[in-house]
Amino acid sequence: MEFSSVQNLSLHLISSAFQRCRLSEQICRLSVILARSSSSSLRVSISDTGNGSCLEEFQGLRFSSNDDADNWDGMLSIKTTSISDTEIHNYTINLKASDSSKITRLTSNTKNGARFSGSEVCLSSFVSIDLLVAEIHQFLEKMMILSIPNVATHLVAEDCDVPGSRYEKVFLANGDKELPIPASNLDLLKSGLEDYVLRHGNTLSNKCHYCFPNWEQLKVGSGVACSIENHQHNELVMEAVIIISNMPVDNTECFRKYGDKTEVFYFKDFSPGTVSKSLMKALKGIDWKSYGLKLGGIVQQDRLALLEWENLTRDTHVDIVLHSYNKQTVIPGPRKITQTERNLVKRAVKLSLDDLKEKHAGVLLSSHAVQVRSYAPDLAKTIAGLILSSSDLNFQEECFSLLGLQSQVVGTENMENCIRERIVSVIEMNDKKPHKNKVAPSLFVDDRAQELEFEENDMEEGEDDLDLQLF
Amino acid sequence: MEFSSVQNLSLHLISSAFQRCRLSEQICRLSVILARSSSSSLRVSISDTGNGSCLEEFQGLRFSSNDDADNWDGMLSIKTTSISDTEIHNYTINLKASDSSKITRLTSNTKNGARFSGSEVCLSSFVSIDLLVAEIHQFLEKMMILSIPNVATHLVAEDCDVPGSRYEKVFLANGDKELPIPASNLDLLKSGLEDYVLRHGNTLSNKCHYCFPNWEQLKVGSGVACSIENHQHNELVMEAVIIISNMPVDNTECFRKYGDKTEVFYFKDFSPGTVSKSLMKALKGIDWKSYGLKLGGIVQQDRLALLEWENLTRDTHVDIVLHSYNKQTVIPGPRKITQTERNLVKRAVKLSLDDLKEKHAGVLLSSHAVQVRSYAPDLAKTIAGLILSSSDLNFQEECFSLLGLQSQVVGTENMENCIRERIVSVIEMNDKKPHKNKVAPSLFVDDRAQELEFEENDMEEGEDDLDLQLF
Amino acid sequence: MEDLRNPMLKFFSDQELCYAEIVPSAQVRARIEVSVLNFLKNLNASNPAISDLPLIQRKFCNSRVNHSLMTDLSCVFLSHSVSSRSLMRPNAAKAFVRVWKVMELCYQILLQEKRVTQRELYYKLLCDSPHLFPSQIDVNRTIQDVVALLRCSRYSLGIMASSRGLVAGRLTFQEPGKEVVDCSVCGSSAHTIPGDVNLLENLILDTDARYIIIVEKHAIFQRLAEDQFFNQIPSILVTAKGYPDMATRVLLHRIHRTFPDLPILALVDWNPAGLAILCTFKFGSVTMGLEAYRYACNVKWLGLRGHDLEMLPDESLVPLKPKDLQIAQSLMSSGILQGNYRDEVALMVQSGRRAEIEALYFHGYDYLGKYIAKKIVQSDYI
Amino acid sequence: MEGKWMSSQSQSTNFHLLAKIKEFTRSIVTDLSNGQSPVILIHRFRNHCTSPNSNCFCGFNLPCGKDVLTLCRESHVHRIDVMLRVLLIVQKLLQENRHCSKRDIYYMHPSVFSDQSVVDHAINDICVLMQCSRHNLNVVSAGKGLVMGWIRFFEGKRLFDCISSPNKVHPIPVHVEEVKDIISVAHYILVVEKESVFERLANDQFCSANHCIVITGRGYPDIPTRRFLRLLVEDLHLPAYCLVDCDPYGFDILTTYRFGSMQMAYDTKHLRVPEIQWLGAYPSDAERYFIPKQCLLSLTAEDKRKLEAMLLRCYLQRDVPQWRLELKMMLEKGVKFEIEALSVHALSFLSMSYLPSKIQGKMII
Ligand SMILES: [Mg+2]
Ligand SMILES: [Mg+2]
């Protein structure tokens, strides 16, 4: 893996540390400490209490900045120990050097029999501390969506030249929510995204009580698609979570960063990834219409992909997260998105949409069903009319009881509402099992039309508009 | 005047001799004798008994052949005497010489007190006798159209080497017709063209009785247009004669040289002339359409102009002769056709067409009148039907008497024919005075005549049925 | 309300009005005979000529509007401006011969005391002279020419007038010598107005109605007839199923002359065509030629009108069509509309919408009758 | 007051129909309360097919398939919506013993129905569903047919006394079920395609000279005209002859009288008049009656297309092969003409020569 900036390299190192924590069975702590000393070089220290690291992790790294601003010598200093090690190994690695002269082993420290594991990676550079803090912050917040429960991350930044400039933040997943134990990755992802939505993404640190007075307003759907790749028992998993939320329309205080657009979060192997063209193609290929959604287009902004909807009501918002990982790989390497993965995206998204629809009546109705549903008030009114205008009281009574209405309290509106609800529910139910209920509605193709050669005009009343010319 | 061939010169000399005869008050004789002696040179002798000639006539002549076939020395020998002369003057003139050395006066002969006048012009050349005879013949025949009554032309040709080859012909104008005395030039021209038509032009020596059993079938119209040119009291006269003749359609024996086309004969100063482009333009400019004729185009063939008609019936033929001369000039010189003359052509032709139309009912009807006339049978039938289907005998009787019919003998056809003829005659009459613009009587006696608004455009078929025009 | 026989109007009419009369066939024949004699006389005169045919111009520019000072009655009429058919003008020659052809045929039909339809006339002429009458339109136009020449109605020429009109309500009529017909007991099929215009002029009428109501549409008429609306408000219902034909107008005029005190109220669509239909009853129209204005009646506009729109559902107001705008334009430029009519047209154009009478059904089928009754009681007509 | 024209018989029909409507409503409500989509089966009918083998059942009023309407498809829901709206109107009409026209119904919800044909379709659906005729729904046509001749009858209490002046035009009653006390001394019924011919016959005093009844439906006949004709044929046992233009439309009008129309195929048994015979004008009449060439118009491409389609109709082959032969001849000759073309010889040719020669000469197929 080749990096061209200290920021990117730092994010990668944080991600690696995070993975080591994740894979540990214990509650782990990940500290990122940025300290600018008076020498004005910035020291970046990433330490974790996860599984110890292995040299291979670092061997593959390379640095090749054309940008002198970094002014970095390419040297990483590493301390690491695993739970079974008796000593702490020390290395320096020159990422600018060629492979052979890369790694220098330093003398180890003894652990004095203590059983702990962990690593610390340090580097010194002249990169801007503010820039780096902002990026790391964003990165860590995104990581929160994964809701890895056993990692607490601590970000500290201090400029020694500026007194009182210390910045410190702890990132803890699922702060106030109970999760099933053991929680699956998907559960964690759902919980993470819910949290994200309730906090309006990055803009709030707590759930927005103004927009979401009750929790249940979020409509969450999730889906998992798997595939065994290359016969290597290397199972590729694609998890998708979709949340539809409704906010008060008149809410002028809270706003989404991207308005009505949907930011697609994409995680690859438990680390935030970029939404590539290939992935966007997969997203475009989803039959949104059959869920009543009309995709206007996908906008790429920075490294984000924003889906634009054409027919969303103003109060509705859609949030999507995708997570793809190999079930078996422990230390993931770079991986290209394949056709298989594209298909998995489609399947996972579709499954989560189905899930949503199944769990929440009336949500994600196909545009066809929406159209059909628009007839419901008319139909209800007419049927109610047929019943209420009848002069046969027994018949009316029978209908009331069928509809579960008390005849004493039946008003026209009452009746209409009741019938409408039933019609709507039938239509929505029908839409949920789109492939089940396909009793070819028209048993016979409409072959009658072509047989009618002559429009019979036994209906006209010799209408009046034609004969301006009287003679 | 410059000549480039012996033929053309000869024709000019004959024409000059002809003019001298014409201007003489007496009956004159013009002899053209072509004799090839054994020396194989051809001697051309042109003698006339007209007024004597004057030297000026010959002084203007010039000869400049590039063609050696003529093989002529350019020498003319001339004898001439006028009635008042006491002797016969002899000259030789060298037409190839320069002006100063041109004329040689020879010794004169005495007339011994006899009172006669005349001239003889001779030349010797190696030109072909056959060619020359043919051209002179054609020339003299054309001259016949002018019908100059006091000139008898005698053409003799003899090849001394060929025994019995003597050819001789006398051209006498108006052989069998009585002409008013004194006859005007126009009368003579008419008579000459009639003669020409009745003889099918050059192809017959006598009137063709097959085609023209009676004389009256020819429809003749003539017109004269004059103009005083250059304030010199030099009055230019343009005479035109047009004859329309009908021949049996099934006549396969007689035929016109130029088929349905009309040869335009053009005489200038009593001598056949060529129809120039300028003249053709004038002919094209005539409004033939208002006479029901449709000029397809003018073809120039040899020195002739042929008018092509587009809508002539197969049995109809049109012949036209134009004669333009100066009333005062005695010996005409070369003259270009001027704009004035072109206008005169148009006027003269138009006048003769009008003359024709006036004299012959139904001839040269304008295409408009022809169209209107085509409705006559329908209209006649309708009105006859109205009269005859009536049950009111008084009404019928009144109609019969208006039509001048005996009620006893009235058949449907009779009646129809009678009404049709009257309608046709009104239509034809109306067409004759096209510019008179008299108001047609209204069907009902109308005292509101001043209210009659004639709107030319209220007649279109598209008429008043615009159905949106409600009120 | 003494219409055209009002002496003052008569004076006026003598000056300008031209009209086609209903005349007995003998008289029409006589007029044709006079035409023939005049034609022959001119043909045979010392200065022979073919007479032009003086036809009253049936064009907008020859129409006048007569706003009567004495009565409310206005009408459109044609003045004596003549457009002549001349044989001698090349583009009129055909039309000239056509006029004579049709006159001949009519003459013969009148002799046989028959009547023909225009279609039959067309076939006859097509057979006789296909080059003169290539289409039915030529025949129809020529018939109008003959009307304009002889100044007698089409019906008088022996041409059948098929009537589309219906009448129902508190009216009885009787053909001389026949049984009395009661228009109030004829159900929703109502009574057909006969096409025989002579007959209409001679009917013996009686009524106890208080109003005459013209209905634009057959269906509305049927609704009112079935509901026997005329018993609710004593009235006579008339419909021509759209633009009125002559017979319907003649009958209306006949009723109006006999019972001049009955107001005539019209119920038409609220669109330019509806108003045009009303106006044709009221004033006549140029396209009806010389027969048009004689039967002008002082028709009042009951509905639908602009202020009725409030009670109509929005969905029943449909956008104006281009043709509507054309008609509106024609109405406005005719100079015939009184001020409040013009306002209505302007409102239609401005709102860009139209409404049909049936829109009243929104309030139930019986609302139509209530609506009319309310309007009548409140004298809400203009 | 509006019940004035209703007999007790139609009141019982109304009651019967109202019960059916209730049953239908109940089934919908039941389905809905069970959380199921109502399923509405509408049978399809046709009065002819184009299959060359003659073993079809087109003439037997048997359905030839059905439409299954559910709430799954928008087009179906729309159809149901329209149908129920019309049904509600019909229920009211039946309850109140009122009549109205299809046009009136259309104007109840013009923007929903969007077009008259949508309403027409819904009315047909209801008729099929309720197994009744259109007039049973109290939906009536405006009625444009005309009648004259030797007949006298009542529509409810209204007397149609055609017999007293047999050449006078009367409208055909709209409520044919109310027609009673028919008295006729006619020998036959003549059905003519168009009003102008009807008027020609009236003008020629045809009925005075011939003891007959003349009827016109003015083009394609409306339902009252067809039902009235059928009533006369059934009650009076008179032969019925049909005179139409010799063109594709004329022939189609003829078949409408005899076999009914495709739209109303579900009710053919009440609307067709199988006894009707074709009197003219045949393509072969052009020569027989010396119709001038100018009056023979050539068939347009559209005409030919129609003719070819009509030739395939099964009932022609099965019931009236002779009609089919004449129709084929029309296509072969490539010309058409109108009845008026017969009048060119003489105005009265139709009534004095053509019709008598056809009827007396049995030149009727
Ligand atoms: Mg309208
Ligand atoms: Mg027809």
Rounded-to-integer distance, Cα D134 and Cα A400, Å: 31
* DSSP symbol at D60: G
Cβ neighbours of C222 in D, within 8 Å: 101, 142, 174
Q: Is the pLDDT higher at B182 or at D207?
A: D207
Segment C321-325 mean pLDDT: 90
User: Three-state DSSP class for A390?
Assistant: coil
Position A449 scores a pLDDT of 37
Q: Are A468 and B465 inside 8 Å of each other by CB?
A: no
Cβ neighbours of A468 in B, within 8 Å: 467-468, 470
Q: Does D97 touch chain A (CB under 8 A)?
A: no
Q: Are C143 and A471 inside 8 Å of each other by CB?
A: yes
* Concatenated DSSP letters of B347-381: HHHHHHHHHHHHHSTTTT--HHHHHHHTTHHHHHH
So which residues of C are the catalytic ones?
Answer: 123
Provide the pLDDT confidence category of residue A177 given band limits of 50, 70 and 90: low
Segment C196-211 mean pLDDT: 88
Summarised one tens digit per residue, pLDDT across range A193-210 is: 888 888 776 666 677 777
Q: Locate the chain B residue with the closest alpha carbon to C285.
A: B471
Provide the pLDDT confidence category of residue B447 given band limits of 50, 70 and 90: very low
Q: Looking at the partner chain, which of A462, A464, A471 has a beta carbon nearest the beta carbon of C140?
A: A471
φ and ψ at residue B220, rounded to 5 degrees: -115, 135
- Determine the CATH number of domain D3-136: 1.10.10
Segment A248-262 mean pLDDT: 69
pLDDT at D149 over 90: yes
Active site residue D249: no
Summarised one tens digit per residue, pLDDT across range B9-18 is: 899 999 999 9
Residue pair D225/D172 in contact (Cβ under 8 Å)? The answer is: yes
pLDDT at D187 over 90: yes
Position B113 scores a pLDDT of 83
What are the C-alpha distances in Å from B132 to residues B13, B40, B272?
13, 15, 17
Summarised one tens digit per residue, pLDDT across range B99-147 is: 766 888 888 888 888 888 999 999 988 888 888 888 898 888 888 888 8
Position A447 scores a pLDDT of 38
pLDDT at C331 over 50: yes
DSSP E strand stretches across B250-351: 262-268, 271-272, 295-301, 304-309, 316-326
In whole angstroms, how large is the CA radius of gyration of chain C?
22
Q: Does D14 touch chain A (CB under 8 A)?
A: no
Residue pair A112/A233 in contact (Cβ under 8 Å)? The answer is: no
What are the C-alpha distances in Å from D191 to residues D148, D197, D215?
11, 10, 5
Task: Kindly list the structural domains of chain A, giving each domain's residue range(s) and its CATH number in brackets, ordered by start.
Answer: 2-172 (3.30.565.10), 185-359 (3.30.230), 367-457 (no CATH)
Q: Is the pLDDT higher at B362 or at B126?
A: B126
Position C289 scores a pLDDT of 60
Helix H or strand E segment including B107? strand B103-110
Provide the pLDDT confidence category of residue B446 given band limits of 50, 70 and 90: very low
- ipTM of the complex model: 0.64
Which neighbouring-strand residues pair with D214? Answer: D148, D190
User: Three-state DSSP class for B92?
Assistant: strand
Question: What burial class does residue D297 get, using C-beta atoms within 10 Å of its C-beta: 0-12 exposed, 13-18 middle, 19+ buried?
Answer: middle
Summarised one tens digit per residue, pLDDT across range A354-381 is: 888 888 877 888 888 888 888 999 999 9
Q: What mean pLDDT is reported for chain A?
A: 79
User: Three-state DSSP class for B199?
Assistant: coil
Q: Locate the chain A residue with the closest alpha carbon to D261.
A: A456
Token pair of A142 as six digits = 């995104």
Shortest CA gap C309–chain B (Å): 26
pLDDT at A88 over 50: yes
Residues C144, C150, C155, C160, CA torsion sign: negative
Q: Are D169 and C192 inside 8 Å of each other by CB?
A: yes
Position C93 scores a pLDDT of 84
Q: Looking at the partner chain, which of A462, A464, A470 has a beta carbon nearest the beta carbon of C287?
A: A470
Segment A108-116 mean pLDDT: 86
Token pair of D350 as six digits = 């139709």
Looking at chain C, how many residues does it have?
A: 382
Residue pair A240/A349 in contact (Cβ under 8 Å)? The answer is: yes
Strands C353-354 and C180-182: unpaired
Q: Are D112 and A461 inside 8 Å of each other by CB?
A: no
Q: Which residues of B69-80 are buried (b: 16+ CB within 10 A; e: fewer)?
A: ebebebbbbbbb
φ and ψ at residue A190, rounded to 5 degrees: -60, -50
Summarised one tens digit per residue, pLDDT across range B298-316 is: 888 767 788 888 878 777 8
Residue type, B310: E
Residue type, A169: K
CB half-sphere exposure, D294, CA atoms < 13 A? 16
Summarised one tens digit per residue, pLDDT across range A291-318 is: 888 888 888 876 778 888 887 877 788 8
Token pair of D13 as six digits = 């029909």
Summarised one tens digit per residue, pLDDT across range C11-60 is: 333 345 566 777 888 889 999 998 899 888 888 887 778 888 877 766 65
Residue type, C59: K
Q: Are D1 and C227 inside 8 Å of each other by CB?
A: yes
Residue pair D159/C186 in contact (Cβ under 8 Å)? The answer is: no
Position C347 scores a pLDDT of 93
Position C79 scores a pLDDT of 62
Residue pair B287/B300 in contact (Cβ under 8 Å)? The answer is: no
Measured in angstroms, how far is the CA atom of residue D243 from the centroid of ligand 2?
11
Residues D90, D96, D97, D99, CA torsion sign: negative
Summarised one tens digit per residue, pLDDT across range C146-177 is: 888 888 888 889 888 777 889 999 999 998 88
Cβ neighbours of B459 in C, within 8 Å: 83, 85, 89, 91-92, 95
Token pair of D294 as six digits = 């100018």
pLDDT at C226 over 90: no
pLDDT at A181 over 70: no
Position B100 scores a pLDDT of 67
Measured in angstroms, how far is the CA atom of residue B324 from the centroid of ligand 1?
78
Segment B242-257 mean pLDDT: 72
Find the angle CA(D194)-CA(D196)-CA(D200) to the nearest 5 degrees: 120
A and C interact (at least 3 Cβ pairs within 8 A): yes
The one catalytic residue among D106, D107, D188, D354: D107
Q: What mean pLDDT is reported for chain D?
A: 88
Q: Helices C339-351 and C272-283 sit at what angle, rounded to 10 degrees?
A: 160
Task: Kindly list the structural domains of chain C, giving each domain's residue range(s) and its CATH number in brackets, ordered by start.
Answer: 14-159 (1.10.10.10), 166-378 (3.40.1360.10)
Find the angle CA(A436)-CA(A440)-CA(A443) to the nearest 5 degrees: 160
With a pLDDT cut of 90, the percent of chain D lying above it is 51
| Residue C304 preceded by cis peptide, ω within 30 | yes
Position B437 scores a pLDDT of 52
> Domain D146-364 is in which class?
alpha beta
Rounded-to-integer distance, Cα B308 and Cα B310, Å: 7
Q: Are A379 and D67 inside 8 Å of each other by CB?
A: no
Segment B363-385 mean pLDDT: 87
Q: Does D293 touch chain C (CB under 8 A)?
A: no
Q: C130-135: list long-range contacts, CB under 8 Å, 24+ apart.
A: C130/D294, C132/B378, C132/C94, C132/C97, C132/C98, C132/C101, C133/C98, C133/C101
Provide the pLDDT confidence category of residue D54 given band limits of 50, 70 and 90: low
Provide the pLDDT confidence category of residue A444 given band limits of 50, 70 and 90: very low
Residue D68: which of D33, D39, D109, D104 has the closest Cα? D39
Cβ neighbours of A463 in C, within 8 Å: 242
Position D168 scores a pLDDT of 86
With a pLDDT cut of 70, the percent of chain B lying above it is 80
Within the 230-249 window of chain C, which residues sit less than 8 Å (CB to CB) from chain A? 241-243, 245
Shortest CA gap D60–chain C (Å): 33
Query: Which residues does B184 contact at the CB level (< 8 Å), separation at least 6?
Result: none
Which of A366-370, A412-416, B167-171, D324-328 is the most confident on average? D324-328
Ligand closest to Cα of D245 equals 2
Q: Are A466 and C287 inside 8 Å of each other by CB?
A: no
Which neighbouring-strand residues pair with B200? Answer: none
| Residue B182 preceded by cis peptide, ω within 30 | yes
Rounded-to-integer distance, Cα A457 and Cα D176, Å: 20
pLDDT at A144 over 80: yes
Measured in angstroms, how far is the CA atom of residue D92 from the centroid of ligand 2?
39
Residue pair D68/D41 in contact (Cβ under 8 Å)? The answer is: yes
CA dihedral defined by A392, A397, A398, A399, rounded to 10 degrees? 90
Measured in angstroms, how far is the CA atom of residue C241 from the centroid of ligand 1?
9
Rounded-to-integer distance, Cα C184 and Cα C187, Å: 8
Summarised one tens digit per residue, pLDDT across range B409-418 is: 668 888 888 8
Residue pair D257/D221 in contact (Cβ under 8 Å)? The answer is: yes
Query: Residue ranges of the domains in chain D?
Result: 3-136, 146-364
User: Three-state DSSP class for B449?
Assistant: helix
Measured in angstroms, how far is the CA atom of residue D215 from the centroid of ligand 1?
29
Q: Which residue reads 């001043």 in tokens? A: B450
Most A CBs within 10 A among D15, D21, D28, D29, hence the mutation to make, goes to: D29
pLDDT at C291 over 80: no
Position B251 scores a pLDDT of 60
Q: Does D299 touch chain A (CB under 8 A)?
A: no
Question: What burial class does residue A31 get, using C-beta atoms within 10 Å of its C-beta: 0-12 exposed, 13-18 middle, 19+ buried?
Answer: middle
Most C CBs within 10 A among B378, B382, B410, B453, hence the mutation to make, goes to: B382
Position A338 scores a pLDDT of 75
Q: Is the pLDDT higher at A429 or at D8?
A: A429
Q: Looking at the partner chain, which of C33, C80, C279 has a beta carbon nearest the beta carbon of B395?
A: C33
Rounded-to-integer distance, Cα D120 and Cα B422, Å: 65
With a pLDDT cut of 90, the percent of chain A lying above it is 12
D and B interact (at least 3 Cβ pairs within 8 A): no
Position D363 scores a pLDDT of 85
Q: Which residue reads 């050669």 in tokens? A: A453
* DSSP symbol at B458: G
Q: Are D256 and A456 inside 8 Å of each other by CB?
A: yes
Q: Does A449 touch chain D (CB under 8 A)?
A: no
Residue pair B221/B352 in contact (Cβ under 8 Å)? The answer is: yes
